[in-house]
Structure formats: structure tokens, C-alpha cells
């Protein structure tokens, strides 16, 4: 998977646009990125895009003899109006040549942690027109700003944005559709999406190697996990307690940096290949099956209802439809057929039995068993 495979998805595009909107209004931004994206090169690729759409100077950094302010001044072009002082960041903000400029700095290339708590107050003394206000996009790793309470930084002219919940359900589905050379069965795609969540590396692995048999799914997920060792202990109680949609709680920062937890589908999700996530596999499988199968089951129920109605007596219909808003459910219809109050052809009885069994499983949060699943897919023509 290349950085572009990730960055072309709706979620990262939405985040880049949100940052650009803040910058356009004259706001500086602290963008908090997890270590695994920095180490994998995805963070730099994303920041390239942010710099491009915000027209910000991407300050490369890396010179240990030069401060972040020095590098910004050099990039803009020092002239006679630049006068350094004991408070270089305030001097930078007040520097006439810096007005209206936008720059992007990275904490793994520049040392600027000490200015973050005071940057908003420095900006309060600068011109208030967005076009004149200097803007800095501070891309940070939590390890580089460990002494800073990032949750307390946001202010009038300084916004804090986290890479948290950026990859969501739509992103996973779009990724699977666009990245696989051979389209998968829609149920396979739904299962892969629900099981993997935000973990696109696992999604690609299952999309290209999993055989589609629910009995081999757990092994395929586990095998993928052996290729991604985690250098940390993941607490089994990590998902307990509240989670914000805005940023990970302190107890989850290490796991988030390691790339084993993120927000997806409105709730926190551990990487599916972790031993601690094994118990949630059946739930994800059930959710995927419910999403795909229930509409087909309902269509077939309606067909059987029409057939059943044409053959049942008024007394039977009155008994079965009472207190159900006139809808004939699968269970009561099957009971009427089995008690010989209504006669159906053998293949119709078989369909009624199969649908009743499958729907009961799904209604009780149980994944459909492999044999029943194969029969259902064949009978209803699910492709």
C-alpha cells in the first residue's frame, strides 16, 4: 500500500480540507500525528498535500545548528526589517515580512515545543485580519511535545486537530473497491471491512489472500498479525471508559502511536489481529452478515408471504397477522406450514425453513453458520 492509496481516500481529504479552512480564516493549527504514520512516510506525504492546498511553506528542517525561527526567516528571505530578539517567536509574529505568510513545521525536524503554550497569546498581539495574520501549521508527535497538554492548547487563533477517526467505514469500503484487482463477493467485502475497520493493511491482506470461508477468517487475521509485531503490551481493559471522537484519551496514546487502536464506525477499535481483539471477531462477522443478508431475506420473506397468503384460509391469516400490523413473519408462517394448516411445495418449505433459521441467528447476534450461509447465497442468488 502506497501513501497515495491512503491519502486519496475521503477521510484524509476531509481532514486536509478542514485544516485548509482553518488556515484560510487565519488560524494556526497543531496537527497531532501518530508515530506509525511518521515512521511509515505517510505523515510527510500528507503534510506535502496540506502545504500544497494551504499555500504554506514546507520548512524542511534538519539543520541542528539552526532554530525553527531561523529556518522560517531564511525561507521567507531575511531583509533589513528582521530584528531577532530574546523572544524570537514573538519577533517572528511581529515581523512585517511574515504577515500573511503560512509555514509548516514538523516536531521531528524542528524544536518548537516551548512556543506552543504561548503561541495563541503571541497571535493575540498580531493584526486580526486573516489575510495579515501569520499562520503556522505545527505537525507534532506526542513524544516530541510530551510536556505539553495538547488538550489545553486550543484558543481563538490556534486549533488542535488529531489524526483520530480519519479512516472510517466509507474509506475502508472505497479502499477495498479501488485497490483489489479482482472484485470480491459483496459479503466478503462487507466482512473484510467490518473485521478490519481502519486497518487498511489488514484489509488489503484479507482482500488478496482470504478464501472467503468464515471458518478460515480467524486464522487469516491471526496470520497477518505475525507480520506486524507490536513492541508494547496492550492492556485488555483499554477499551473500557469513555472515548472522544476528537482525540484518543491519555490511556490510549501509546497504542494509537503504535497503530493498534483508532476510532472507526463511531467507536474505538483495536487492530483485529491483536489477541485482545479476538473475541470481537464474531460480532464483526455478524454485523457484516446482517448488513448484506437482511435485505435479501426480507425480499424473499415478502415473496413467501404473497405465496402463503394465496394459499392460506382467512382464519389462518387472521391468526397469524394479529398484533403484527398485518405482516406475516417467517416463524409463524413456518409453524403454520409444519402444522399442515397451509401447504407449500417442498422447495418453498425448504426456503422458509432456511430463512427462518438464518434470520433467528442474526436476530440473536449470532453469525450464520457456513453450511446455512452457502445454501442461502445459492438460493437467493447473492453475488
Q: Are strands 102-106 and 135-140 parallel, antiparallel or unpaired?
A: parallel
Q: 119-122: which pairs have CB atoms within 8 A and are 24 or more residues apart?
A: 119/28, 119/89, 119/158, 120/28, 120/153, 120/155, 120/156, 120/157, 120/158, 122/89, 122/90, 122/93
The torsion region of residue 269 among left (phi > 0), alpha (psi -120 to 50) and beta comes to beta
pLDDT at res. 352? 95
Residues whose CB is less than 8 angstroms from the CB of residue 18 and which lie 6 or more positions away in sequence, other chains included: 161
Spatial CA neighbour of 227 closest among 248, 247, 199? 199
Residue carrying C-alpha cell 474505538: 268
CA dist 168 and 198 (Å) reads 6
Q: Give the tens place of pLDDT for each residue, 101-148.
A: 999 999 999 999 989 999 988 888 777 777 788 899 999 999 999 888
Q: Give the tens place of pLDDT for each residue, 252-272.
A: 999 999 999 999 999 999 999
Q: Give the tens place of pLDDT for each residue, 143-157.
A: 999 888 888 887 788
pLDDT at res. 342? 92
Q: Give the tens place of pLDDT for each residue, 279-294.
A: 899 999 999 999 999 9
CA dist 339 and 176 (Å) reads 47
Residue 235 reports pLDDT greater than 80:
no
Rounded to an integer, the average pLDDT of 333-357 is 94
Edge-to-edge strand ranges of the sheet holding 57-58: 57-58, 102-106, 135-140, 28-32, 158-162
230 burial via Cβ count (<10 Å: 0-12, 13-18, 19+): middle
Residues whose CB is less than 8 angstroms from the CB of residue 142 and which lie 6 or more positions away in sequence, other chains included: 32, 35, 150, 253, 257
Multiple choice CATH, 3-162, 3.40.1000, 3.40.50, 1.10.3470, 1.10.3210: 3.40.50
Q: Are strands 267-270 and 57-58 parallel, antiparallel or unpaired?
A: unpaired
CA dist 229 and 211 (Å) reads 24
Q: Nearest 5 degrees, angle CA 22-CA 128-CA 81?
A: 105
Residue 105 φ then ψ, to 5°: -120, 150
For residues 373 and 190, is the Cβ–Cβ distance under 8 A? no
Residue 343 reports pLDDT greater than 90:
yes
> Per-residue confidence at 324, pLDDT binned at 50, 70, 90?
low
Task: Return the higher-pLDDT residue of 319 and 136.
Answer: 136
Most confident of 3-7, 124-128, 196-200: 196-200
* Maximum distance among all Cα pairs of the chain, rounded to whole angstroms: 99
Residue 370 reports pLDDT greater than 80:
yes
Residue 335 reports pLDDT greater than 80:
yes
Domain map of the chain by residue range?
A: 3-162, 169-241+250-273, 283-380
E strands along the chain, which residues?
A: 28-32, 57-58, 102-106, 135-140, 158-162, 261-264, 267-270
Residue 83 reports pLDDT greater than 80:
yes
Q: Are strands 267-270 and 102-106 parallel, antiparallel or unpaired?
A: unpaired
How confident is the prediction for the chain on average, in pLDDT?
91
> Per-residue confidence at 327, pLDDT binned at 50, 70, 90?
confident
Residue 323 reports pLDDT greater than 60:
no
pLDDT at res. 143? 93
HSE toward the beta carbon, residue 77, CA cutoff 13 A = 3
Rounded to an integer, the average pLDDT of 231-235 is 74
Amino acid at each position: 500500500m502506497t501513501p497515495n492509496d491512503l491519502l486519496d481516500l475521503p477521510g484524509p481529504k476531509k481532514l486536509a480540507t478542514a485544516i485548509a479552512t482553518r488556515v484560510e480564516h487565519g488560524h494556526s493549527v497543531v496537527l497531532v500525528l501518530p508515530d506509525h504514520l511518521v515512521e511509515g512516510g505517510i505523515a510527510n506525504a500528507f503534510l506535502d498535500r496540506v502545504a500544497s492546498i494551504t499555500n504554506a511553506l514546507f520548512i524542511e528542517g534538519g539543520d541542528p545548528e539552526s532554530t525553527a525561527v531561523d529556518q522560517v526567516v531564511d525561507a521567507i528571505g531575511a531583509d533589513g526589517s528582521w530584528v531577532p530578539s530574546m523572544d524570537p517567536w514573538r519577533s517572528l509574529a511581529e515581523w512585517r515580512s511574515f504577515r500573511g505568510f503560512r509555514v509548516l513545521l514538523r516536531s521531528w525536524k524542528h524544536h518548537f515545543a516551548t512556543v506552543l503554550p504561548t503561541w495563541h497569546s503571541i497571535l493575540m498581539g498580531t493584526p486580526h485580519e486573516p489575510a495579515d495574520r501569520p499562520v503556522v501549521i505545527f505537525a507534532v508527535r506526542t513524544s516530541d511535545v510530551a510536556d505539553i497538554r495538547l488538550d489545553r492548547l486550543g484558543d481563538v487563533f490556534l486549533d488542535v486537530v488529531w489524526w483520530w477517526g480519519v479512516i472510517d467505514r466509507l474509506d475502508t469500503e472505497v479502499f477495498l473497491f479501488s485497490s483489489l484487482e479482482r472484485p470480491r463477493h459483496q459479503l466478503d467485502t462487507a466482512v473484510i471491512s467490518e473485521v478490519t475497520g481502519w486497518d487498511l493493511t489488514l484489509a488489503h491482506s484479507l482482500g488478496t489472500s482470504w478464501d472467503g470461508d468464515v471458518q478460515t477468517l480467524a486464522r487469516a487475521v491471526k496470520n497477518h498479525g505475525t507480520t506486524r509485531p507490536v513492541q508494547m503490551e496492550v492492556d485488555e481493559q483499554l477499551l473500557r471508559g469513555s472515548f472522544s471522537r476528537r482525540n484518543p484519551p491519555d490511556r490510549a496514546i501509546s497504542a494509537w502511536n503504535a497503530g493498534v487502536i483508532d476510532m472507526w464506525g463511531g467507536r474505538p477499535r483495536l487492530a483485529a489481529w491483536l489477541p485482545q481483539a479476538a473475541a470481537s471477531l464474531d460480532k464483526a462477522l455478524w454485523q457484516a452478515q446482517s448488513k448484506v443478508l437482511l435485505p435479501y431475506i426480507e425480499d424473499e420473506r415478502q415473496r413467501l408471504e404473497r405465496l402463503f397468503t394465496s394459499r392460506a384460509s382467512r382464519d389462518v391469516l387472521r391468526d397469524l397477522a394479529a398484533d403484527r400490523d398485518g405482516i406475516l413473519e417467517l416463524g409463524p408462517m413456518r409453524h403454520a406450514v409444519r402444522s399442515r394448516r397451509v401447504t407449500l411445495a417442498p422447495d418453498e418449505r425448504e426456503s422458509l425453513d432456511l430463512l427462518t433459521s438464518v434470520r433467528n441467528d442474526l436476530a440473536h447476534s449470532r453469525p450464520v453458520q457456513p453450511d446455512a450461509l452457502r445454501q442461502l447465497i445459492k438460493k437467493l442468488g447473492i453475488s
